[in-house]
């Protein structure tokens, strides 16, 4: 926090302590600055010369540690009276008479005390003008009011020194109007609390022999999804991001800035212009470039920039994240606890295993291809689910997950229809480099997925280098590798197999082969990017939270739900997604 606290922060404090903490301690802002500013909208004041002197001032008090801009100051009967203008309606007392809302009352008291100190004369009242119902409410600057201000300033300082977020407010009616609800996720926090009470499977899941979930006492409990069906939370998470990802594939292309547009310049070709408001990410493939001016614009507009090699390796990226020290400290505390990491890793490994099992069952059933290899893989995965859930350390968990993965990829060749051609059938899972066309597609897809997961982690403000499952053995950040496990099947494996079975690939034109190594060609990369980006826009209904959102937005949601795991009484929803 800065030395002087903005008075609008006191308004947030009285409205909701959690909002105050997110805005003023963690310095979080939503992507749309207009939405953020709208909560403190100052309407234009029509000046009336007959009403007397009027003045707007920016004031600061070192003694109080406050600063703020007073909407206006007028003289009334020889007294200075500060005014605060609000677009909404006034509160009402028990008799229906207008009065100031508690947050507005504290705000005008603070302004009055600042004016008093600046002018060197007593201020006995402040006024709040509510324009929706055209009423003005008077607030007396009594000793009780001054004490109210002192208590609020002290509480603000106490919260500013803490690394723990205050709990979600008990007043649910405040949340739909809050600009930071998409970050706070109050409805999801309340849902997690209800499900912990109703559904023991959210607390201590065990897997039965048939793949179902059992409670600690061995009695089959109701599923999380059935509990959530009755308690669907109001969606305060942001709408799907309609901005697109701009992939720059031409070697030697340069991304620059031209006013409020990005300009992609290629030698001997006409430049392409893309409005900034339509771009959410820029991905530079191979040896394309971006100017400093364009990078600065990306930073200002919350646009991620990422670099990928022509061979499909993710190099790194930049994103405008809100990585406050308080958020990092909470992450470090949580993810240096071995027991806590094992709990998260177990949930993550089970989510991926169940996704792989569901995909095998669906793909073989839909195409009528329940071959022996698929049946064997399904049986093998089912047998490993129970010991997977009982793993007592990360190493054994990785062992079970590796065995499940081996079963899964051994069955993948039988998911490819004969009409797609023998050349498109994979030979298990191979990489670094891939040795067949299917694995080339999978590897390239995982690279794009890593890029999107990393972007979401940085944007959310977490440290991608500190994970809970994968070890830092390569350039890839461990937390990104962790979260990728939730999306590999649904966002890469499924569309890859589907595109092969639809015969969308040209065996010669879309791939480059050098010895045993197989890569996507320029045309192949362009085609795959189109398939992947379309997949990101498809809607998916979360089985626990029970509302629909795009896969692109789902990545961000899971990152935010992960952060809730180390927030008191708000965890339990991370990695609960299941592919139907």
HSE-CB for 68 with a 13 A CA cutoff: 28
Q: Give the residue from 170, 193, 208 where a domain finishes.
A: 170
Residues 59, 189 within the same domain: no
When the pLDDT of each residue in the chain is averaged and rounded to a whole number, the result is 85
**Based on the structure, what is the number of domains in the chain?**
4
Within 8 A by CB and 6+ apart from 97, the residues are none
Looking at the structure, tell me whether residues 260 and 331 fall in a common domain: no
Asked if residues 23 and 12 have their Cβ atoms less than 8 Å apart, the reply is yes
pLDDT given for residue 36 in this prediction: 38
- Worst-scoring range by mean pLDDT, 168-177, 274-283, 305-314, 471-480? 471-480
Q: Look at 58-72, 201-215, 393-407, 514-528 and tell me which has the smallest mean pLDDT.
A: 201-215
Q: Where does the pLDDT of residue 579 fall: very low under 50, low under 70, confident under 90, or very high at 90 and above?
A: confident
Q: At residue 285, does pLDDT exceed 60?
A: yes
In a domain, 15, yes or no: yes
Q: Please check whether residues 220 and 98 belong to one and the same domain.
A: no
Indicate if the pLDDT at residue 59 is higher than 70. yes
State the Cα–Cα distance between residues 345 and 343, nearest whole angstrom: 6
Q: Are residues 184 and 163 in the same domain?
A: no
- The pLDDT of residue 253: 94
Average pLDDT over residues 408-430: 89
Regarding predicted confidence, which is higher, 323 or 564?
Answer: 564
Instruction: Name which of 32-41, 183-192, 566-575 the model is least confident about.
Output: 32-41
CATH number at residue 293: 3.100.10.20
Give yes or no for a contact between 92 and 132, defined as CB atoms under 8 angstroms apart.
Answer: no
Q: How far apart are CA 398 and CA 406, in angstroms?
A: 12
Residues 404 and 547 both lie in one domain: yes
Provide the pLDDT for residue 431: 80
| Long-range contacts at 443-446 (CB < 8 A, ≥ 24 apart) | 443/312, 444/312, 444/520, 444/525, 444/528, 445/491, 445/492, 445/493, 445/495, 445/496, 445/528, 445/532, 446/484, 446/488, 446/492
What percentage of residues in the chain have a pLDDT greater than 90? 58
Query: Who wins on pLDDT, 108 or 242?
Result: 108
Structure confidence at residue 498 (pLDDT):
93
**Cα 226 from chain centre:** 25
What value does the mean pLDDT take over residues 136-142?
94
* Domain-located, residue 201: yes
The residue range of the domain holding 31 is 5-170
Same domain? For 404 and 530 the reply is yes
Q: Is residue 319 part of a domain?
A: no
Gap between the Cα atoms of 393 and 173, Å rounded? 43
Dihedral angle sign, alpha carbons of residues 77, 82, 86, 89: negative
Of 29-43, 44-58, 354-368, 491-505, give the range with the top mean pLDDT: 491-505
- Name the residue with higher pLDDT: 199 or 415: 415
Residue 317 belongs to a domain:
no
Q: Which of 308, 339, 361 is where one domain is finished?
A: 308
Name the β-bridge partners of 98.
92
Same domain, 259 and 367: no
Q: Which residues pair with 67 in a beta bridge?
A: 6, 60
- Per-residue confidence band for 487, with pLDDT thresholds at 50, 70 and 90: very high
Give the pLDDT score at 55.
62
pLDDT at 70: 87
Stronger pLDDT, 220 or 152, i.e. the higher one: 152
Whether 486 and 537 map to the same domain: the answer is yes
C-beta of residue 335 within 8 angstroms of C-beta of residue 341: yes
**Whole-number pLDDT of residue 92:** 93
Using CA of residue 175, residue 176, residue 177, residue 182, what is the dihedral sign?
positive
285: burial class by Cβ within 10 Å (0-12, 13-18, 19+)? buried
**DSSP SS3 for 465:** coil
In this structure, the chain runs to a length of 580
CATH number for the domain spanning 483: value is 1.20.120.920
Residue 226 in this model has a pLDDT that exceeds 70:
no
Q: Is the pLDDT of residue 277 over 80?
A: yes
pTM: 0.83
Does a structural domain hold residue 578?
no
In tens, the pLDDT along 183-217 reads 899 999 988 888 776 554 444 333 333 333 333 33
Q: What is the pLDDT of residue 565?
A: 94
On whether both 183 and 166 belong to a single domain, the answer is: no
DSSP, collapsed to helix, strand or coil, labels residue 107 as: helix
Whether 314 maps to a domain, the answer reads no
The band of 45, judged by pLDDT with boundaries at 50, 70 and 90, is: very low
Give pLDDT, residue 197: 63
Inform me whether the pLDDT recorded for 325 exceeds 50.
Answer: yes
CB 442 within 8 Å of CB 434: yes
**CATH number (domain holding residue 46):** 3.90.320.10
- Reply yes or no: is the peptide bond before residue 433 cis, omega within 30 of 0: yes
pLDDT at 52 over 80: no
* CB 265, CB 229: distance < 8 Å: no
Choosing from 170, 195, 216, the residue where a domain stops is 170
Question: Sorting pLDDT into bands at 50, 70 and 90, what band is 382?
Answer: very high
Q: Are residues 43 and 79 in the same domain?
A: yes
Rounded to a whole number of angstroms, the CA Rg of the chain reads 28
Is the per-residue pLDDT at 49 higher than 50? no
298 in the same domain as 389: no
**Residue 256 in this model has a pLDDT that exceeds 60:** yes
Contacts for 217 with CB less than 8 Å, ≥ 6 apart:
none
Asked if pLDDT for residue 46 goes beyond 60, the answer is no
In a domain, 318, yes or no: no
pLDDT at 29: 63
Run of H or E including 302: none
What is the band of 116 on the pLDDT scale with cuts at 50, 70, 90?
Answer: very high
| Mean pLDDT across 502-515 | 91
Task: Tell me the average pLDDT across 450-474.
Answer: 88
Reported in sequence order, the residue ranges of 62-205 that DSSP labels E, i.e. its strands, are: 66-76, 79-86, 91-92, 98-99, 125-130, 135-140
- Between 211 and 445, the more confident residue is 445
Q: What is the pLDDT of residue 559?
A: 94
414 plus 550 within the same structural domain: yes
Q: Tens of pLDDT along 154-183?
A: 999 999 999 999 999 999 989 988 888 888
Q: Which two tokens stand for residue 424?
A: 């498109």
Mean pLDDT to the nearest integer, 468-489: 88
pLDDT tens digit sequence for 525-555:
999 999 999 999 999 888 888 888 999 999 9
Residue 367 within a domain = yes
pLDDT at 324 over 90: no
């Amino acid at each position: 926090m800065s030395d002087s606290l903005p008075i609008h922060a006191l308004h947030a404090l009285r409205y909701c302590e959690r909002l105050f903490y997110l805005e003023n301690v963690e310095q979080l802002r939503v992507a749309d600055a207009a939405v953020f500013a709208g909560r403190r909208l100052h309407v234009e004041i029509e000046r009336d010369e007959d009403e007397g002197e009027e003045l707007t001032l920016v004031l600061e008090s070192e003694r109080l540690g406050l600063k703020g801009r007073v909407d206006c100051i007028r003289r009334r009967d020889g007294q200075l009276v500060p005014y605060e203008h609000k677009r909404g309606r006034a509160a009402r007392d028990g008799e229906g008479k207008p009065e100031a809302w508690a947050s507005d009352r504290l705000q005008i008291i603070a302004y009055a005390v600042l004016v008093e100190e600046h002018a060197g004369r007593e201020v006995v009242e402040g006024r709040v003008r509510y324009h929706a119902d055209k009423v003005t409410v008077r607030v007396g600057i009594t000793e009780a009011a001054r004490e109210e201000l002192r208590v609020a300033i002290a509480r603000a300082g106490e919260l500013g020194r803490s690394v723990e977020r205050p709990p979600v407010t008990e007043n649910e009616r405040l949340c739909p109007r809050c600009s930071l609800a998409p970050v706070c996720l109050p409805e999801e926090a309340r849902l997690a609390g209800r499900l912990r009470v109703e559904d023991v499977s959210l607390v201590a899941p065990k897997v039965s022999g048939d793949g179902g979930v059992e409670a600690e006492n061995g009695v089959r409990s109701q599923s999380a999804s059935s509990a959530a069906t009755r308690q669907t939370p109001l969606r305060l998470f942001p709408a799907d991001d309609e901005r697109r990802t701009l992939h720059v594939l031409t070697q030697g292309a340069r991304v620059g800035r031209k006013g409020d547009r990005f300009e992609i310049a290629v030698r001997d070709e006409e430049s392409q212009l893309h409005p900034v408001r339509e771009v959410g990410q820029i991905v530079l493939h191979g040896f394309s470039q971006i100017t400093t001016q364009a990078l600065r614009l990306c930073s200002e507009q919350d646009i991620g920039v990422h670099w990928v090699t022509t061979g499909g390796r993710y190099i790194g990226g930049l994103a405008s994240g809100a990585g406050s020290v308080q958020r990092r400290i909470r992450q470090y505390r949580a993810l240096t606890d071995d027991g806590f990491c094992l709990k998260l890793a177990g949930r993550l490994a089970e989510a991926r295993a169940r996704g792989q099992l569901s995909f095998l069952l669906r793909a073989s059933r839909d195409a009528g291809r329940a071959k022996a290899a698929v049946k064997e893989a399904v049986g093998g995965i089912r047998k490993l689910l129970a010991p997977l859930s009982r793993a007592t350390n990360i190493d054994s968990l990785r062992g079970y997950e590796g065995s499940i993965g081996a079963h899964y990829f051994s069955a993948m060749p039988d998911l490819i229809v004969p009409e797609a051609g023998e050349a498109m059938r994979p030979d298990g899972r191979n990489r670094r480099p891939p040795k067949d066309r299917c694995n080339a597609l999978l590897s390239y897809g995982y690279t794009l997925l890593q890029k999107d997961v990393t972007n979401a982690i940085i944007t959310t403000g977490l440290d991608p280098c500190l994970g809970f499952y994968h070890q830092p053995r390569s350039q890839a950040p461990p937390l990104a590798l962790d979260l990728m496990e939730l999306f590999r099947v649904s966002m890469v494996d499924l569309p890859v197999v589907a595109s092969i079975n639809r015969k969308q690939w040209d065996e010669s034109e879309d791939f480059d082969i050098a010895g045993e190594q197989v890569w996507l060609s320029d045309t192949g990369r362009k085609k795959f990017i189109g398939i992947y980006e379309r997949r990101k826009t498809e809607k998916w209904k979360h089985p626990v939270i029970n509302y629909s959102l795009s896969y692109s937005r789902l990545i961000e949601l899971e990152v935010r739900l992960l952060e809730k795991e180390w927030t008191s009484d708000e965890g339990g929803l991370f990695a609960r997604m299941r592919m139907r």
